[in-house]
Structure 1
Amino acid sequence: MTVVSLAAEAGLRRNKLTHKHTGLKELFYALVKARTPVPEALPDSTRARAAKEHQVLARVRAERDALRGQAQLLARIVQVLELENSKLEETNEALEQQAAAHASVPDITRRRRQP
């Protein structure tokens, strides 16, 4: 339970609880402190295992961040390639239209040489 949830249960806004009803707030903190058990000292093997797990977690997070960056880079590359592909398709269509227009024009040089 927090001061915010205590204020909600009491039907007060948090600032009223922490500024106006300070006795209630202090009682709440005293009860929370009394309920919280005192942690026992951890053995060295547990500390070593926790330290190792923190190192592994840091490595995995770094790897995740690197992979996320690579995925974003690959997505951008795909976008650029799609744009270039659409431009090439437009250019290819234009060239095909020009070739079709050129093919419909009769070759005048052949007619002159055949007399």
Structure 2
Amino acid sequence: MSPAPDERERISAAMDRILGGTPQHSNGALTIVALAVEAGVPRSALTQRHTDLKAEFYDKVRARGATPDSERRLRQQVRKLKELRTADAQEIAQLRADVEALVGALHQATAENSHLRRQLVDRHAVVRVLPAQTPPGR
């Protein structure tokens, strides 16, 4: 399927309307998708056939001091991902500390258990059974 002969002109006109704040067929967002809708062409026309017009559109958006909506969304997503990464790093550090504490407690319990077993084997040792304790709140 070949492009329409007036495709470049329609894209240029759509670019002028969007940048002028008077879109007729799109939401006026500063994105390639909105430009394609405004021009009545498929998005691939800008991403494959007329990449120069796509670059020109983004250059004009940046020249106005505005950041394209797609770039703004990506920057926001990057910010969120960095925050999540920081939170994950903190959680991992806490989990590592917890593991070390649990390994220490397990080692201590194993040593105490071993000591008590040795006392049971030794007939002269006095081992007393403690009454069972109920957990608080029961």
Deviation at 1:41, TM superposition (A): 2.6
Give 2:93's aligned amino acid.
Answer: Q
Runs of 4 or more above 6 Å deviation: 43-46
SS across alignment from 1:102: coil
- 1:5-24 → structure 2 map (5 Å cutoff): none
1:97 is the counterpart of 2:118: yes
**Counterparts of residues 1-115 of structure 1 (less than 5 Å):** 40-42=59-61, 47-102=68-123
Q: Residue 60 of structure 2 aligns to a residue in which SS? A: coil
CA separation in 2, counterparts of 1:50 and 1:88? 56
Among the aligned pairs, what percent are the same residue?
15
Unpaired runs of 5+ residues, structure 2, are 1-57, 126-138
Task: After superposition, give the CA deviation of every residue in 1:2-37 in whole Å (9 maximum; x if it has no partner).
Answer: xxxxxxxxxxxxxxxxxxxxxxxxxxxxxxxxxxxx
Aligned length: 67
| 1:42 maps to amino acid | V
Q: Deviation of residue 50 (structure 1)?
A: 0.8
Q: 1:46: how far off?
A: 6.2
Unpaired runs of 5+ residues, structure 1, are 1-38, 105-115
Q: Which of the two has higher C-alpha Rg?
A: 1
TM-score, normalisation: structure 1? 0.50
TM-score by length of 2: 0.42
Name the one with the larger helix percent.
Answer: 1
